[in-house]
Structure 1
Amino acid sequence: MTIANDTAEGLFDGFDWEMTNLHNISACEAGSVDMQEAPTTGAAPSGADNKKPPAEAASKMAKKAWMA
């Protein structure tokens, strides 16, 4: 890759540094960002599918399929 001037080189170096930092972020840090921005009202988010069966129902179905 050829860079024409110092301004473009500086811009590329800055972008490369930011991308490196974003790729090195840990899952814990990424999760804490989401948790800080999540509403704490206890209500389901708008557009949520409220007709889902409980999680244990899925595990019971998987167990039955495995035993069959």
Structure 2
Amino acid sequence: MGKAKAKAKQAKGQMKETAGNVMDDKKMQAEGTSEKVAGKAEEMSGKTHESAAEAMERIRKAGH
């Protein structure tokens, strides 16, 4: 998942969590929190993947 999609998922989760709080809907609040955390995890996973790819490129360049 791309960084923009992960950020969008976090924002959607935040809105859902807030709506759950306003409406005193514990299920919606929990779903929002879950989506927000999932989006953050996907964002971090993408950053890790990018960092690994950058490291491999530096190693490849250093070898030549």
Same fold (TM over 0.5): no
- Structure (1 or 2) with the greater helix fraction: 2
Decide which structure has the larger Cα Rg and report it: 1
What's the TM-score bracket when you normalise by the shorter of the two chains? Answer: 0.3 to 0.5
TM-score, structure 2 length as denominator?
Answer: 0.39
Q: State TM-score, norm by structure 1.
A: 0.37
Indicate the structure whose relative CO is greater, using CA pairs within 8 Å and at least 6 residues apart: 2
